[in-house]
Amino acid sequence: MSDTKTLFRNHLADSHLLCSEIEDWQIYVSAQAGPSEQYAAEEFQYWFEKAYGNRLTLTNTKTGDGQIQIGLVEESADVDQSEAFQIEVAPDLVKIAGQGVRGTLYGVYQFLEDGLGVRFLTADHTHVPNFAQPDGVSPRIPCGRFQYQPSFSFRWSYYKECSDRPEFAARLRVNTVATEIKLGGKTPQNLINHSFHSLLPFSQYGDDHLEFYALVDGERDRNTHGGGPQLCVTNPEVIRIATESVIRQLNAQPDLKNISVSQADTNRYCRCDNCEAINQQQGTPMGSQLAFVNSVAEKVELVHPAVKVGTLAYWYTRQAPKTTRPRQNVQVQLCSIECCTLHAIDDPNCSKNHAFCQDMDQWGQICDDIWVWNYNTNFKAYDLPFPNLRSIGPNVRYFLRNNAKGLFMQANGNGNSGELCDLRNHLISRLIWDPTLDDRKVLEEFADLHYRQAAPSMIDYIDLIHDNAEATNRHPGCFPSAEEVGLTPEIVDRSFEYFDQAMAQADNATVRQRVEKASICVYRARIEISKDLTSSERKDLIEQYISLCQKHGQTRASEHKEATVFFDELRSSLS
């Protein structure tokens, strides 16, 4: 197993705790502990028993030694963030204490990972070393005091497995989906998203007040595509109504820490004289947008001073204005939708990404609350091979270096399955929790534990599609065709060979099922690429593909198309 330990890594200590010595200890949790602390104690108990075969007793009585003490951090401690935690290890005592409703639970998961080698791989597969076996070598943990504070306060690996299985999301420390208090709940910060449609609904104001909406090509827009029409952001009544709408929403949800005031998902922004004058002066349509957001945020601050107003820097608004600055209670979320997904965003040899780096640098100079919306799947075809696994880690670290506080890693979150979705969710979740991890080692470790003897062939497939895309100088976005990621009949044939090898290497039925699920992508690739199949061969290929998708629960073919619709289209293409 690859070494990806973090908390106790490279720590020199005069003494160590041998984990097998914990077997006759108790787990202390206060009788007044909240649901997440109690659950944290139960999780420690459950997974320790899986590793050692011994069920530790839970107690509400604190003693001086022989305990794992789990609870909130003491007020005197110097950990001051809501998800931060500290772990104290002594030969006769372990203390795991965190801040807020999630810190303690996250501290337990960190101890299980770094101390015992537990890995939360998928919702249905947790790797737990078996130390109860005769030849099991129990881990040694250095004694000392360890602290951790997550780099990003908002973390979302956008896979449906997380939203469908919130207990698994909590184990991965994805803090944006769980609503149960025992799981720590979710962060009170919401994703910054398109919101103009909710601030001034066209269905409510469109008939009588077209002047509230964007002037495009000399006419007030009626196009509701993408949550439109956009607003006329310099109209005083629009500013007033939008502000009142925001304050009403916050009054109704007093726990919110931020709220979106942001453009619709369309480039039909307002070109009226007032809006255009600001945009020309500021050198970007973000000029009028940000002035609008600032106006709303100024009024919001008077009523809800602790709430941030978030807006997207997306598409035509990604460039920062020349002189307008976001107010101190404004968040700006940059969206990387135009970027190359194969290469790291800060790769100096990828010209497609230079503009984003320039924009992020400019925003970093004028805003201290930056978030990022990053794209991590092929939205045109969820199950096609998508060679971006090498760029995920560098991108996360780039965002961190540029002071991003929130990170939304969008993938196929509205559908089950998709190309290497299990590996991708694990990799992304671990990296946004701890960007210092070696992403290649995390990937290889997942393959070793999840695909077992088949791991080498799975890694060979991954390397093949990445090496090929790099060698053929591809720069795919997040809606690429098979050709745009470098797929050819030869590459697809070699991919099939690797999956055939993996199936032959799989040592049990469970692993064969995992490999089979992962192989769906090469069936989809052959359907897209192969042009010389006979009608009978193509029919067989399509039916094999559909059968695998149905067997492994694939529900969507793309962001906007259900799998069943795509299956019907494929079958219709045969006639």
Q: What is the pLDDT of residues 104-121, one digit of tens each?
A: 999 999 999 999 999 999
Mean pLDDT, range 83-103, rounded to an integer: 94
CA trace torsion 345, 375, 409, 383 (10° rounding):
-130
The residues, any chain, with a CB within 8 Å of residue 458's CB and separated by 6 or more, are 447, 451, 498, 502, 515, 518
243, 302 in Cβ contact below 8 A?
no
pTM of the model: 0.95
pLDDT of the residue at 550: 97
Identify the CA nearest to 268 among candidates 202, 331, 320, 207.
202
Q: What is the pLDDT of residues 332-380, one digit of tens each?
A: 999 999 999 999 999 999 999 999 999 999 999 999 999 999 999 999 9
Mean pLDDT, range 426-444, rounded to an integer: 97
Q: What letters, b where the CB count within 10 A reaches 16 and e where it falls short, cover 16-52?
A: bbebbebeebbbbbbeebbebbbbbbbbbbebbebbb
Tell the residue number behind the tokens 């919306």, with chain if given.
373
* pLDDT greater than 70 at residue 4: no
State percent of the chain over pLDDT 90.
91
pLDDT of the residue at 3: 43
* Domains defined for the chain, CATH in brackets: 16-149 (3.30.379.10), 150-187+336-575 (no CATH), 192-304 (no CATH)
* pLDDT greater than 90 at residue 9: no
* pLDDT greater than 80 at residue 1: no
CA trace torsion 422, 426, 428, 430 (10° rounding):
180
